Chain A
Amino acid sequence: MNLLAIPWIKAALRSRLYPVVFQWITATVFVMVLVSTLFGPNNAGQNFGMALAWTVWWPLLPLSFVLLGRFWCAICPFAWVTDWVQKAVGVRLSVPLMLRRYGPWMIAGSFILLGYLDEAWGFNSDTRKTGYLLLAVLATVIFFGAFFERRTFCRYVCFIGAFAANYSRAGTLELRVAPDRCRDCPTQDCYRGTACVPGCPVFLLAPNVTDSGTCELCANCVKNCPRDAIRISIRKPAAELWSIRQPHLCDAVLAAVVAGVVLIEQFAMLPGWNRLIVATGAMLHLDPYVSYPFVYAALLAMFIAAPLVGLVLASLGSQALGGSVSLAELKRTFSLSGYAVIPLALAGHLAHGLDRLLTWSRTVPFALAAMVGWFPGNNRAAWLPWPAVFWIEVAVLALGAAVSLYVGFRLAPRQARCAPWAAYAPHCLLLLFLLAANLYPVVTMMRQF
């Protein structure tokens, strides 16, 4: 179903107010969050910026990518800052080759760094540190906006890209073109832009868009296309994952990395976490509390390595069952089967976020009231009782696992030169293991209550 066939949606997307209106709103909220985290109460539960950023925005982000593709990226305040800095002082240098080549790995690195800072240095519980983090990201955004063309930061550097691309691929919205209309297009305005509207901010030529991992749905191409060739359609969720034309190694690695980072964040909330820290510290001959950042770094590496190693082993298993193992084939199988991990990683991320959203986000209106000096009583009550949150989390994980298993089943015939069931079996085991690993912290937390 092409949404641009609906007149009001088409008019809205072609309006000059889209996405500017949304950008103004998010930029205003961003300034409030920044001021609140830098100058507001140290108490995270009473700080509006902390409550909004970590209990509403962060948990809702994966959901927005599934439902709306990378729409968030179109209205992100950092994209707005990039555009303004570029208009004012932009030098518009070409993107360095190194960034184009290794951008996805930098994104993976920055996402791991964020996960590390969150837990090891308490960035998500310390208001000032969250403020400093926002300042650091803001300075980086200004740097890229000032020197490089278009939204280089969004495309090649932003840590959100670690999961935004993969989740959008699993999502329900896609932007494509009608190929017959793009044939022999002399202007390529979708990429180059016009005097009125800039070209694609993330360096895409619309006819070349074959997956939803990069497009930000900013609608510049909709406004620029002289042939009305752009289509924005609602599609079957996750269909893109099993029909991916060019599997990329970095996408598979990112899926496993996100799964690992989400897992460790869930385990860190368990009562047995301290025992794990002490045991790891003893293994490394470190005082677990004095050297907590180092001990946590070791644990993070293990949690990230587990899904990655699992994926390598499953791919090796597929190859072995097919009768031959080669590095090139292994890389291809690994890349392809990584797409099957995405729905489960997404489900784990969503379940972890729902925990925050459905319980702690109740603090947001109270923190907002506290900003103006009004303290209306208890702000700790959850939106839903714990058992309800638990069952929602379990349902999300079960759905994610089912979709992952189905994607794996559809990808199996492309994975190895053997019977599809043989290629599928090792990956099926891996997915079930990941499901169990995601369920363990949820069930443990529930038993506590």
Chain B
Amino acid sequence: MFKNTCGARRSSDGTPILPLARDGRALRGIVAIGLSLAGILAPAAIVIAAPSAPVRGIESEARRGASAYQLAAHLPASIRKGEPASLILHVQKSGRPVDDVIACLAPVPAFASEEDAADTTPAIGIDLGAGAEPASAPAPEPGCVMAIAAVRTAPGVYQFTWEPDTAGRVNLQFSVGDSQLNVAVNVGSAPPNPAILIAFVLLVGAILSVAVRMRRTQERQGGST
């Protein structure tokens, strides 16, 4: 028969006095918990501290024939789901800005994954999914394939503002006359809400600190009796 060889010290009611984590052990435990939380939340700090997206130029101009337009796009280096993004398109012909021949530019989003394509969730901005476009999206001008309408901001400069509601890789295709420009945009994920992360850390910190204080009080009372 198995003999218990642990030799537990017991209190008056027979309950073994289990070794409690005191001093160094408790500290190690708290450090371990702190490190775990830090490990989980460190990426949050990186995400939150990251500078706002700089503007990047896309210089892949499309040229086709002598009468072709030259198209160049500028867009933020990172675009996030749910956050408005502006894309600037420069249209030139023979090195001069063109702003009188283009009534509409037609960006055509394509999809990185089937899940994106299947996503028909209505959102504030352009729904990149296969379903019906949301009513709140800007109305397309006649001839536009998709609902991202251009706003002319300067001679030959057109601004497209849209709010992607899915993450993944999106290809925008602009065509003016016979000229085309394809711009691949990586739509990143929205970061977690920092308020929730901070609330979690504060809550856990409060719980642990109250517990430590109560534990110390218990130990003092236990020591004095």
Contacts and interface: CB of A to CB of B under 8 A. Distances in A.
A131 B167 contact: no
Contacts of B28: 88
Given A42-B167, A135-B200, A195-B7, A127 B189 contact: yes
A342 interface: no
Contact of A146 (B39, B167, B211, B218): B211
Interface string A137-166: 011001100110000000000000000000
Interface string A214-243: 000000000011111000000000000000
Contacts of A44: 115
Interface residues of A, number: 49
B196 A195 contact: no
Name which of B6, B26, B218 has the most chain A CB atoms within 10 A of its CB. B6
A138 B201 CA distance: 11
A138 B40 CA distance: 12
B84 interface: no
Interface stretch (A31-39, A274-282, A315-323, A343-351): A31-39
A88 B210 CA distance: 13
B49 interface: no
8 contacts: A39-B44, A39-B189, A41-B189, A87-B20, A90-B215, A132-B192, A196-B8, A227-B1
A194 B16 contact: yes
Interface string A61-102: 000000000000000000000001101111100000000000
B113 A43 contact: yes
Name which of B25, B40, B191 has the most chain A CB atoms within 10 A of its CB. B40
A42 B190 contact: yes
B173 to A, nearest CB: 21
A31 B191 CA distance: 17
A42 B189 contact: yes
Contacts of B2: 225-228
A132 B204 contact: no
Given A43-B115, A193-B16, A194-B16, A89 B208 contact: yes
Interface of A: 31, 34-35, 38-46, 84-85, 87-91, 127-128, 131-132, 135, 138-139, 142-143, 146-147, 187-189, 192-199, 224-228, 378-380
B207 A139 contact: yes
Given A89-B215, A195-B6, A39 B191 contact: yes
A225 B3 CA distance: 8
Q: Contact size class for B?
A: 35 or more
Interface in B149-202: 166-168, 189-193, 196-197, 200
Nearest to B3: A226
Contacts of A379: 113
Interface string B1-17: 11110111100001111
Nearest to B27: A88
Contacts of A139: 200, 203-204, 207
B133 interface: no
B77 interface: no
A387 B218 CA distance: 63
B43 interface: yes
B13 to A, nearest CB: 9
B16 A147 contact: no
A74 to B, nearest CB: 19
A91 B218 contact: yes
A409 B208 CA distance: 52
A132 B30 CA distance: 23
Nearest to A370: B113
Contact of B25 (A41, A87, A143): A87
B108 to A, nearest CB: 21
B196 A132 contact: yes
Contact of A128 (B4, B115, B193): B193
